[in-house]
Amino acid sequence: MVFLIIIAVIEFLLILAGIISYLISRKKQENMVYNAQQLVKGKLNIDDIPVEGTRSNSDIVASGLNLIKSNLLTFMEATKQNTVVLSDAVEKLTGSMESNRKDNEKIAENTVNVEERTAMQLNIVQDNMDLVESNSKQLAEIANSMNDIVSMLEETGTISDRGIADLEKYSGDMDEVSEDLQAINETITQFNSLLQKVYEVGDFIVGISNQLKLLSFNASIEAARAGETGKGFAVVASEMTSMSEQTREGMDRINTILSEVMQSSSGVADSIGKCTDTYNESKASFGQVNSSFRSINTNAAQIQTRITDINKLFRVMEGNYEHSKDIAGRLCDTARDINEMAGEIAGISRDVTEEAAQIGENTAALDGMLSGIRRLLGRFDTGISPTKTRAGREIKIALLSMNDNEFWYGVERGANYAIKELERLKAVARFVPIVFGDGDNDEMVRSIIRGLVAEKFDAIIYPGFLGGIESALKEALAKGVKLMTYNCDCSDPKFRLTCLKPDSVAQGALGAKAAYELAGKSGNVGILMGNDAIIGNVERRKGFVEAIGKYKSIKLAEEVKVTDDGKDVYKKTLELLKRNKDIKVLFLTNGFPGEAARAVMDAGCLGRTCIVGFDLTPALFEYIRNGSIGTILSQDSFGQGHDPIIWMYNHIVDKTPFPGETISCRASVADKTNIEELI
């Protein structure tokens, strides 16, 4: 009985397993049919079909559909990006061609003017050569005149030297005359002194004569008294009186003569004094004349030096003239050549204008081809498309984005395509890169938001993980600016209308499933946890931890925090692997799987440990091939840059409602099973 019950239970379990297998298989088949129908309709905005990792027919078909969808998306996104690049190139080329056409017309006009001006220049050059020749003759005449002046100055210098020598000799002679006059003057002075002494002697003699006369008179009186006896004394007295009279008369004549001599001597002395004064005055004048002669001689020497320098300059000018004449000749030849080339340029300009017109036609054809490509792209639904409703005014939308790794570069490419789409609708979309530095990054982002508000932007879309910007967001809301987040949600829903983001918890669970398979369904795994201030990292970790906990044969050995910096991810991965060599899989929540894979190889763990990370880029293909990366989960970076802008535009223009509090991004998986088929 027990045996029958056991058999019945086993049969029931087998039937139940069959039913479950059938239901799972049917669910997968329904997913495959649904995805195939969507692909046929051109709707590519769908998630991958889950694959169990077996080589069953359903897994092969599911993998094939996933590959077709993934490659089509990659091709569409690349084509969209290329249309943006080509469209910009066509616009620039069109503008350039129009500018070139106008420039060629101006060149043609200017070439004619150049031809005319060149002919005029040729005439001017010829006239200039004639003037140069005339100047040469005048320079020769000036040079001859300067030589004559030099000769005359040399002669003047010689004469001045002789005059100075004569003046110096005459001055010496006059000095001797002055000395002779001085000696004569001194002699006359001595002579006058002697005459004065003669006067004194004369006075003395006159005095004696007067005394003799008085004595004679007394003797006469005494003789008269003596009578006869005194007659002899009377005679003597009479003679003495006579001698006294004669002596007085003689002395009077002598005094008269002396007076006349002294008068003449005084006149001679006065004349000599005047001669001396006149000589002294003449000597001063001769000194001035001598000085003037010397100044003339000095100036003549300086003039001669200057003229010599001028002669040197004339020789230089003469050499320059020859050089100028040569240049003028070459300029004349060049002007003739330019005149000939101007005609050729005019012809070339006409040819270029015709070619520019042909290029313009080709550019128009290329623009038409781009329009056709855009219409073809429009047949595929890779995301949301702009509404056909036209706004009555210019709509301005800004998308803020990081710009430091391949994921964010994909966001930029998606935003650029949205910018081009809205450009045709006369709306403005702007991609605003955020580059963190060493300063206050929160203040930097707040400043960006305030600047956009000041520019009267209608909407601002920002990554939800940006923190510390609430004050700027409140100011934006107060001004009526619409806010939206993407990539991950913000902490307070009042700061956004909706959030376009991947289901990070589901992505974490998908990463846990991939880790389970890569670890061989048993062993140790680890987590490289990114910045926990970013909600996306927290949600991915949550999904991974919850899902990995269901696999009893898998153990979470270690968790390490890493920053959003490739160097730090590499360093922390290397250190973790040195501590735990038995870890088989590392789940990385942030965007640097390439750096983590490189650390796996450098730690010597290739073939033993692999990375499960996010954001597929061409640079990661080789890491997936060599096994350092086991699985990459993609979260549609192009769509995260493109779709929020278009959703917001449609919402503003025709009040299109958002699907809900959040809008999900599609997800895809890349690993060894499909990497070779992925574009």
- Amino acid making up residue 183: A
Q: What are phi and psi of 424, to 5 degrees?
A: -70, -15
Euclidean distance between CA atoms 190 and 113, whole angstroms: 107
Give the three-class secondary structure for 486.
Answer: strand
Euclidean distance between CA atoms 515 and 549, whole angstroms: 12
pLDDT of residue 538: 93
Per-residue pLDDT band for 54 (boundaries 50, 70, 90) equals: low
Per-residue pLDDT band for 309 (boundaries 50, 70, 90) equals: confident
What is the value of pTM for the model shown? Answer: 0.53
Q: What is the mean pLDDT of residues 400-408?
A: 88
Closest CA to 65 of 34, 24, 36: 36
Within 10 Å of residue 63's Cβ, how many Cβ atoms? 19
Highest mean pLDDT among 60-69, 247-256, 365-374: 247-256
Q: What are phi and psi of 307, to 5 degrees?
A: -65, -35
Top pLDDT among 561 and 210 is at 561
Token couple for 297: 């001689």
| In the predicted structure, residue 69 carries a pLDDT above the cut 60 | no
Q: Please give the C-alpha separations between residue 313 and each of 22, 213, 308, 316, 672, in angstroms, as whole numbers.
A: 113, 103, 9, 5, 88
pLDDT of residue 10: 63
Cα 176-178-182 angle, rounded to 5 deg: 115
**Dihedral sign, CA of 611, 615, 617, 619?**
negative
Q: What are phi and psi of 461, to 5 degrees?
A: -115, 130
Euclidean distance between CA atoms 466 and 533, whole angstroms: 9
Q: What is the mean pLDDT of residues 22-31?
A: 60
pLDDT of residue 350: 62
The pLDDT > 90 percentage for the chain reads: 32
Which range is least confidently modeled, 156-170, 241-255, 336-350? 336-350
| In the predicted structure, residue 482 carries a pLDDT above the cut 60 | yes
| In the predicted structure, residue 441 carries a pLDDT above the cut 80 | yes
Read out DSSP for 579-598?
A: H-TTEEEEEE-SS-HHHHHH
Helix/strand/coil (H/E/C) assignment for every residue in 605-623: CECCEEEEEECCCHHHHHH
R_g over Cα of the chain: 65
Per-residue pLDDT band for 210 (boundaries 50, 70, 90) equals: confident
Euclidean distance between CA atoms 650 and 458, whole angstroms: 12
pLDDT of residue 454: 97
Answer for the pair 649, 422: CB distance below 8 angstroms, yes or no. Answer: yes
Q: Which residues contact 487 (CB under 8 A, 6 or more apart)?
A: 411, 463, 464, 465, 500, 501, 536, 640
pLDDT of residue 360: 59
Q: Which residue has the tokens 């003039």?
A: 303
pLDDT of residue 397: 97
Which range is least confidently modeled, 345-354, 510-519, 630-639? 345-354
Answer for the pair 95, 83: CB distance below 8 angstroms, yes or no. Answer: no
Q: Which residues contact 193 (CB under 8 A, 6 or more apart)?
A: none
Q: Which residue has the tokens 């590392």?
A: 586
Closest CA to 639 of 502, 503, 511: 502
Euclidean distance between CA atoms 147 and 58, whole angstroms: 116
Which range is least confidently modeled, 379-388, 595-604, 656-665? 379-388
Top pLDDT among 161 and 627 is at 627
Which range is least confidently modeled, 106-115, 483-492, 552-561, 651-660? 106-115
The alpha carbon of residue 238 and the mean position of all alpha carbons in its chain are separated, in whole angstroms, by 139
Q: Which residues of 407-421 are buried (b: 16+ CB within 10 A; e: fewer)?
A: bbbbbbbbbbbbbbb
Per-residue pLDDT band for 668 (boundaries 50, 70, 90) equals: confident
Task: End-to-end CA distance of the chain: give it in Å, rounded.
Answer: 62
pLDDT of residue 598: 97
| In the predicted structure, residue 553 carries a pLDDT above the cut 60 | yes
Q: In terms of DSSP H, where are the helices of 2-56? A: 2-40
Euclidean distance between CA atoms 414 and 636, whole angstroms: 10
| In the predicted structure, residue 39 carries a pLDDT above the cut 60 | no
Token couple for 309: 């320098």
pLDDT of residue 445: 96
Euclidean distance between CA atoms 491 and 509, whole angstroms: 22
Top pLDDT among 102 and 23 is at 102
- 453 burial level (CB within 10 Å; 0-12, 13-18, 19+): buried
pLDDT of residue 388: 82
Read out DSSP for 388-435?
A: SPPPSS--EEEEEEE-SSHHHHHHHHHHHHHHHHHHTTT-EEEEEEE-
H or E stretch covering 456: none
Answer for the pair 587, 527: CB distance below 8 angstroms, yes or no. Answer: yes
pLDDT of residue 574: 96
The helices-and-strands tally (H runs, E runs) of the chain is: 12, 12
Per-residue pLDDT band for 596 (boundaries 50, 70, 90) equals: very high
Answer for the pair 48, 669: CB distance below 8 angstroms, yes or no. Answer: yes
| In the predicted structure, residue 353 carries a pLDDT above the cut 70 | no
| In the predicted structure, residue 528 carries a pLDDT above the cut 90 | yes
Mean pLDDT of the chain: 78
**Dihedral sign, CA of 567, 568, 571, 576?**
negative
| In the predicted structure, residue 629 carries a pLDDT above the cut 90 | yes
Q: In what order do the strands lie in the sheet with 610-614?
A: 554-561, 523-529, 583-588, 610-614, 629-634, 668-671
| In the predicted structure, residue 415 carries a pLDDT above the cut 90 | yes
| In the predicted structure, residue 572 carries a pLDDT above the cut 70 | yes
Per-residue pLDDT band for 621 (boundaries 50, 70, 90) equals: very high
Q: What is the mean pLDDT of residues 639-656?
A: 94
Q: Which residue has the tokens 């001194």?
A: 186
Q: What is the mean pLDDT of residues 645-672?
A: 90
H or E stretch covering 632: strand 629-634
The model's pLDDT over 93-138, given as tens digits with 9 standing for 90+, comes to 666 666 666 666 676 666 666 666 666 766 776 676 666 666 666 6
The model's pLDDT over 127-162, given as tens digits with 9 standing for 90+, comes to 766 666 666 666 677 767 767 776 776 777 677 777
| In the predicted structure, residue 587 carries a pLDDT above the cut 70 | yes
Top pLDDT among 537 and 18 is at 537
Top pLDDT among 116 and 618 is at 618
Q: Which residue has the tokens 């240049």?
A: 327
β partners of residue 668: 634
Token couple for 354: 């015709």
Token couple for 398: 């800004």
Per-residue pLDDT band for 678 (boundaries 50, 70, 90) equals: low
